[in-house]
Amino acid sequence: MEKRIIGRGVLLGALGGLLAFVFSRILAEPIIDRAIDYETGRDDAQMALDRAAGKPMMDMGTELFTRGQQANAGFSFALIVFGAAMGALFAVVYYLALRRSGKITPRSLALLVSGGMFLTLYVVPSLKYPANPPAIGHHETTKPRTALYLGMIVISVVALVAAVWLGRKLAARLDNWTAVIVAAASFTVVMAVVMLVLPSLGQLSANRREYGDFATETPQPLQDPSGVIVYPGFPADDLYHFRLYSFAAQAILWLVIGVGFAWLAPRLRADRASEAAPVAA
Amino acid sequence: MATSYAPRTGLGALSVSIPTPVWLIGTTLLALLAIYFIGIDQGAVSVFGSDMHVHEFVHDGRHFLGFPCH
């Protein structure tokens, strides 16, 4: 039973990752290329400014994979493996949830679990720390940014589990509808407070020191010493669409996993019946 | 199959025979390891030290999946 669920989770996750890749390869990859061009152009402009000011030059390093390899082999590998891993995690959560689901049918439960995992593993963390295209993100803050992002994921998972627990407690006393609303409101309030308390990326100490007081790490227009803009800020439309497509790709992944499992749920039950029969005999 | 299945209304504890936790924990660890290599390795921390091959290969996916990148 658990092996069958895990196997299906991995396969559905990989399928979701593959579909997310096809979507992203068409819509997001042009933006990634533009962002890399922007980054290169900005670095060149910065170098010209530094040279004029007599500052030491940075070593750019060599390219390990061509853009073509990154955009096709690397990108598809990343999304398919990520999808398979998320599908496997879904299977574990779904298996554990199935045994305590009460009146919820296995089909509804598949949609609830995938929706909950989409919410806590991507949607809520990305509200505070959204996905960024290349050219956005300073080298010196990689560690605190990673810690904050993973911290947001862990906090949202814990908060949702607590909210589900609270909802079940309340459902025993109130009616189901009220219990669900109270639990959802509690989750929202807790996460809103967490987002208020955690720092914005631009306000990390290294960023304040180096770049001034900005909310994010999105590149501002580059100015020469006299204040003339020599290179524009990062294009707002590319940033918006990159984040929109990132959201859509994760939605595709979790939709495939959730709907796929909901589709298979009756058959999983049929499997249970055939498994249970010899035990009963 | 070594696992016996307890129906939904039955006692949850009975359905936990030894293989189940092993499969669940093993799957979870493998999945987390895969996510680590796609999303985090050679960013904030690195298993293989000063090498950037994993990072550069999954570069586009890492940005796109929302993980912090350089």
Q: Which of A219, A260, A162, A258 is nearest to A46 (CA)?
A: A219
| Distance, CA of A268 to CA of A271 (rounded, Å) | 5
A133 lies within 8 A of chain B by CB: yes
Structure-model confidence comparison of residues A274 and A121, the more confident one: A121
A85:B65 CB<8 A: no
What residues 223-252 of chain A have any CB closer than 8 A to a CB of chain B?
242, 245-246, 249-250
pLDDT in tens, A90-125: 999 999 999 888 788 999 999 999 999 999 999 999
SS (H, E, C) chain A: CHHHHHHHHHHHHHHHHHHHHHHHHHHCHHHHHHHHHHHHHHHHHHHHHHHHHCCCCCCCCCCCCCHHHHHHHHHHHHHHHHHHHHHHHHHHHHHHHHCCCCCCCHHHHHHHHHHHHHHHHHHHHHHHCCCCCCCCCCHHHHHHHHHHHHHHHHHHHHHHHHHHHHHHHHHHHCCHHHHHHHHHHHHHHHHHHHHHHCCCHHHCHHHHHHHCCCCCCCCCCEECCCCCEEECCCCHHHHHHHHHHHHHHHHHHHHHHHHHHHHHHHHHHHHHHHHHHHHHC
* pLDDT value for A173: 92
Contact assignment for A2 to B39 by CB distance below 8 Å: no
End-to-end Cα separation, chain A, in angstroms: 19
The model's pTM is 0.89
Please determine, for residue A25, whether its predicted confidence score (pLDDT) is greater than 70.
Answer: yes
Q: So what's the pLDDT on residue B42? A: 85
Q: What pLDDT sits at residue A102?
A: 79
Q: What is the mean pLDDT of residues B1-22?
A: 58
The DSSP element (H or E) to which B30 belongs, if any, is: helix B19-39
Mean pLDDT along residues A223-249: 96
Spell out which residues of chain B touch residue A99, defining contact as CB-CB under 8 Å: 8, 12, 15
Lowest mean pLDDT segment, chosen from A192-196, A198-202, A210-214, B42-46: B42-46
Task: Look at residues A10, A255, A271 and name the one whose alpha carbon lies nearest to residue A110.
Answer: A255
pLDDT band of A60, cuts 50, 70, 90 = low
Question: Taking 80 as the threshold, does the pLDDT of residue A53 lie above it?
Answer: yes
B66 SS3 class: coil
Using CB atoms within 10 A of its CB, is residue A92 exposed (0-12), middle (13-18) or buried (19+)? buried
Q: Give the model's confidence band at A244: pLDDT under 50 very low, under 70 low, under 90 confident, else very high.
A: very high
Question: Residue B43 has what pLDDT?
Answer: 82
Q: Write the pLDDT tens digit of every residue in A205-233.
A: 999 998 888 999 999 999 999 999 999 99
What is the residue-averaged pLDDT of chain A?
Answer: 92
At A141 the pLDDT is 93
Q: Which residue of B has its CA nearest to A81?
A: B34
Evaluate whether ipTM surpasses 0.85.
yes
pLDDT tops 70 at residue A45: yes
